[in-house]
């Protein structure tokens, strides 16, 4: 089961690298924000997987809970800020 | 129990993968939002549910139950939070004048509406 978690974690890492491509070369600004949000949600699951691999799941659950709230608030702040700036 | 966890985890990874493929290949920002908003949320919720199930494998002690409930709570929270964030980003993009891509280049709707200035 541990190696299965490791495989899933590696796949998630690859997906993070792929979605970072749009984060760097995204034509519009909002693609970059979505790229960061996309990476964040994968990191959320990766954190819990790491918790299972290290055997300290009760610590990592709290970390990923706080992290999911942070991603959500961060995306909202980005949206509110760039709404008025109108940077194309 | 761990069979269900394996199935849910692979389904979640599949939806993450489709979300990434859609995120990279779609021509326009708004069509990319289709893929990321949905694939992202469903993938995370499925994987967290699978992990919560796997956590119950080690017996039904109070600690295991608490951790599984927290994992499910993260899934439910993410199921509510991500569409809201996607909507906020979409609204910001539309208000900042980013028009959806059309094949013939004509804007989909004329914005801001010139005739009657209702908001």
- Domain assignments of chain B as residue spans, ordered by start: 2-95
* CA distance between the termini of chain B: 53
Work out the average pLDDT over B8-34: 89
User: Residue B119 pLDDT more than 60?
Assistant: no
pTM of this prediction?
0.85
Mutation target vs B (from A23, A68, A70, A88; most B CBs, 10 A cutoff): A68
Would you state the structure tokens that stand for residue B69, as one six-digit string? 């409930």
CB A19 within 8 A of CB A42: yes
Determine the structural domain holding residue A19 and report its residue range: 2-84
Does residue B73 carry a pLDDT above 90? yes
Contacting residues of B for A40, CB less than 8 Å apart: none
Measure the N-to-C terminal CA separation of chain A; round to a whole number of Å.
46
Local structure of A26: helix, strand or coil: coil
Residue B78's Cβ-count burial label (10 Å; 0-12, 13-18, 19+) is buried
Nearest to B74 among A42, A68, A75 (CB): A68
Chain A within 8 Å of B99 (Cβ-Cβ)? Answer: no
This complex has an ipTM of 0.86
Q: How confident is the model at residue B14 (pLDDT cuts 50, 70, 90)?
A: very high
Chain B hits for A23, CB-CB cut-off 8 Å, are: none
SS3 B28: coil
Per-residue pLDDT at B46: 93
Report the Cα B87 to chain-centroid distance in Å. 11
Q: Give the distance from residue A55's alpha carbon to the nearest chain B alpha carbon, in angstroms.
A: 11
Confidence of residue B11 (pLDDT cuts 50, 70, 90): very high
Tokens 């967290």 found at: B48
Contacts B92 to A, Cβ<8 Å: 30, 78-80, 82-83
Average pLDDT taken over every residue of chain A: 88
- When divided into structural domains, chain A yields a total of 1
**Cα A82–Cα A85–Cα A88 angle in degrees, nearest 5:** 80
Residue B114 pLDDT grade (very low, low, confident, very high; cuts 50, 70, 90): low
Preceding peptide of B112 cis, ω within 30° = yes
């Amino acid at each position: 089961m541990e190696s299965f978690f490791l495989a899933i974690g590696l796949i998630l890492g690859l997906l993070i690298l792929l979605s970072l491509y749009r984060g760097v070369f995204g034509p519009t600004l909002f693609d970059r924000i979505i790229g960061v949000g996309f990476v964040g949600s994968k990191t959320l699951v990766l954190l819990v997987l790491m918790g299972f691999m290290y055997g300290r799941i009760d610590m990592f659950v709290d970390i990923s809970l706080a992290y999911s709230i942070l991603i959500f608030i961060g995306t909202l702040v980005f949206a509110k800020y760039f709404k008025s700036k109108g940077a194309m | 129990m761990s069979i269900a966890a394996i199935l849910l985890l692979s389904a979640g990874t599949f939806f993450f993968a489709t979300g990434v493929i859609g995120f990279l290949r779609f021509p326009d920002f708004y069509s990319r939002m289709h893929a990321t908003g949905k694939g992202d949320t469903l993938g995370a919720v499925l994987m967290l549910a699978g992990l919560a199930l796997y956590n119950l494998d080690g017996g039904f002690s109070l600690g295991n139950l608490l951790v599984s409930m927290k994992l499910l709570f993260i899934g439910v929270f993410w199921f509510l939070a991500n569409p809201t964030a996607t909507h906020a980003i979409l609204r910001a993009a539309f208000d900042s004048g980013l028009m959806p891509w059309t094949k013939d280049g004509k804007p989909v709707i004329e914005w801001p509406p010139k005739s009657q200035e209702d908001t």
